[in-house]
Amino acid sequence: MNVSRRTFLSTGAAGAVWTAKSYSAVIGANDRIRMGVIGCGGMAQGHMEQLVKIRDAENFEFTGVCDLYDKRRDIAKRITGAKTYQRHQDLLAASDIDYVLISTPEHRHFDVAMDAVKAGKHIYLEKPMTKTSGEGVKLAAAVKSANVKLQVGVQGTSDQSYITARKYVEDGTLGDIVMAQIDYSRNYSNEGDFWAYPIDEDAKPGVNIDWNAWLGSAPKRPYDADRFFRWRRYWDYSSGISSDLVVHRATRIIKALNLGFPQYAVGVGGTYHFRGSKAEIPDTFNIMLDYPKGPTVSLVSSMANGSPIRHMIRGSKATLTFTREGFDIEPERHLSGSMKPIHYDKVGAENTNLHHKNLMNAIRRGEELNCDADLGLRAVVACELGTLSFRQRRYMRWDPAKMKPVAG
């Protein structure tokens, strides 16, 4: 039986304790969803600009926006018309918010998302789910315990090609899976530096930015505009290419192959082009992952060469190649006479609105999430192992008993 918010309010059990948590959890199939946004930078602005186009059709509204920088709050208010908050805790305490989009810098994902879980809010959490695997383990457990929905913002998983590919993997069409490869590369060489976003000279800590709150649990330091506006380039706040780009592709391969946690990982790369950059992170980064009983997964990325490699799953019988249209399966040469090629035209797309709609349908009707906390955690582990290997210059492995990375 679907219980609407209105019905629950009028017929709730006698003596029930009414809390924000219980209130937000009760959303009927036809109820209007109230959305809040925490972190209103460029990524979130892109979400909001697209979401306002479908809010009536999808029966939702923006009721709160929050950022530690006044100018970004004002921009978010102009886009959505919603009430503004400086502190995310105050937004989460509001009774007229069911669902939050969290688009803060990566180092704040965990604490803000945990506060949202405790408040009983459903969550769209930008990738990576958390900065570290330790945080991810705790968040995934909290989400499960609280019975809230959490969608990780890897919108490429709303392209149904990856879940469809899994059927061919599992039914043996490809044979034994031995390797998979995928990339996410860009070329910023004509700009002279990478991820060098504009710095707003109007930004002033203590005037229109709460710098200490922005730092959160990161090491305390005086205000640094480069770190505030270009945080992806610094280890304290991000793992750079690994957590911003590679995680997108790792998640897709993990979903297609239904992989658990990797057994071993090695991360390699360096700063090979932008040698004068202030960025701490490398401009070129690659991860090799070995999974128990296979396969080996190669994740390739650079900020100085945008030429792609083919996104492939290689099996002993056939190779599956992802394309813009879906995927193709080609048999190995020795089976070409007895096995026909297969073509799949994709359903869905890499689209943030589709990804949000999937979460809304999960909240209202129990639809399966395209990128839930469990999948988000497996991707965080894969990327973190590669990052730790690169930074420590040694092999890393995953300890499944202790659920933590250890030196290999």
Could you tell me the pLDDT band of residue 92, with boundaries at 50, 70 and 90? very high
Could you tell me the pLDDT band of residue 28, with boundaries at 50, 70 and 90? confident
pLDDT tens for each residue of 167-185: 999 999 999 999 999 999 9
User: pTM of this prediction?
Assistant: 0.93
State whether residue 389 is helix, strand or coil: helix
| pLDDT for residue 78 is more than 80 | yes
| pLDDT for residue 6 is more than 60 | no
| pLDDT for residue 1 is more than 60 | no
| pLDDT for residue 152 is more than 70 | yes
| pLDDT for residue 349 is more than 70 | yes
Could you tell me the pLDDT band of residue 17, with boundaries at 50, 70 and 90? very low
Alpha helices of 295-372 — where are they, by DSSP H?
Answer: 352-365
- Report yes or no: 34 and 94 within 8 Å, Cβ to Cβ: no
| pLDDT for residue 367 is more than 90 | yes
Count of CB atoms within 10 A of residue 192's CB? 10
| pLDDT for residue 13 is more than 90 | no
Mean pLDDT of the chain: 94
Q: How far apart are the C-alpha atoms of 338 and 228, rounded to whole Å? A: 59
Structural domains in the chain, CATH included, are 18-148 (3.40.50.720), 158-195+237-348+372-407 (3.30.360.10)
Return all residues near 357 (Cβ < 8 A) that are at least 6 apart.
54, 58
Q: Taking residues 192-219, what's their average pLDDT?
A: 97
pLDDT tens for each residue of 288-330: 999 999 999 999 999 999 999 999 999 999 999 999 999 999 9
| pLDDT for residue 26 is more than 70 | no
Could you tell me the pLDDT band of residue 408, with boundaries at 50, 70 and 90? confident
Nearest to 371 by CA among 184, 156, 164: 156
Q: How far apart are the C-alpha atoms of 314 and 295, rounded to whole Å? A: 9
Could you tell me the pLDDT band of residue 11, with boundaries at 50, 70 and 90? very low
- Within 274-389, strands assigned E span 284-290, 296-302, 311-315, 318-322, 326-331, 342-345
Q: What percent of the chain has pLDDT over 90?
A: 92
What local confidence, expressed as pLDDT, does residue 27 receive?
76
What local confidence, expressed as pLDDT, does residue 269 receive?
98
DSSP 166: H
| pLDDT for residue 47 is more than 80 | yes
Could you tell me the pLDDT band of residue 97, with boundaries at 50, 70 and 90? very high
| pLDDT for residue 227 is more than 70 | yes
